[in-house]
Amino acid sequence: MNINLNKAHFPVTVLGPGRRIGIWLQGCRIGCNGCLSRDTWDATVNQTLPVARLLDWCERVSIQNAGLPDAAPPDGITISGGEPFDQPDALAALLDGLHAWRNRLKSDLDILCYSGYPYTRLQSQHGSILGRLDAVIPEPFIDSSPTRQLWRGSDNQTLQLLTERARTKYAPYVNATGSAQPGKQIQAMLDGEKVWYIGIPQRGDMSTLEQRCKELGVHFHHPSWRP
């Protein structure tokens, strides 16, 4: 089984509790107005690889990281996109592999998945995938409806806790806003000449960042938040 992947990274600290493996899938048919990740929309951008290779990478970064003096293995895995549920078979295979790995590790890492589809649709069409997740943040991004809730981009998006593991682990964060918690943060990663921004900024943050960088002589080319 192949999966179309946009990118994967560890550690991600801004999309769920703790230090997490982040997996972004390529392709999204939803097209929310104001989406910051337009580079993930095109499903014909073929970056497919076997699910088994992605699982190997997850195990490798975990083992490598566990060997570092002040490092710890992942607290969880966050799957985002793109739209993960636009690749249901690959997503199910990935989740099966992650479950097998978690069982082998006897680890408590949780699996959180984002989706732009309504929760009711996920329940009616993808119940078996929801059954393999600990938490899901569903619903499309609505640019005109900002929120201060952690890990969410707009006020309509909910944090659905699907397992006892998630209910325990996420309890301190449910309904927490920026004032009670670390707040909305973004990570920046360098990849050759590309910079990735990971996380969900406040409205206007990316324009401010772009303007500040421009003043310093750094110009953004093809930012993923513009058509």
186-205: b or e for each residue (b if 16 or more CB lie within 10 Å)? beeeeeeeeebbbbbbeeee
Verify binding: residue 35, ligand SF4, rule CB under 6 A: yes
Verify binding: residue 37, ligand SF4, rule CB under 6 A: yes
Considering only 30-38, 144-152, 165-173, 202-210, which stretch makes contact with ligand SF4 by CB under 6 A? Answer: 30-38
Considering only 75-83, 100-108, 124-132, 200-208, which stretch makes contact with ligand SF4 by CB under 6 A? Answer: 75-83
For 31, the 3-state DSSP assignment is: coil
Among 27, 84, 140, 199, binds ligand SF4 (CB under 6 A): 140
Rounded-to-integer distance, Cα 199 and Cα 187, Å: 7
Verify binding: residue 224, ligand SF4, rule CB under 6 A: no
The DSSP 8-state label assigned to residue 106 in this structure reads T
Closest CA to 201 of 33, 36, 17: 36
Rounded-to-integer distance, Cα 121 and Cα 204, Å: 31
- Least separation in angstroms between residue 85's CB and ligand SF4 is 9
Binding characters for ligand SF4, 77-116, by CB under 6 A (x = yes): ----xxx--------------------------------x
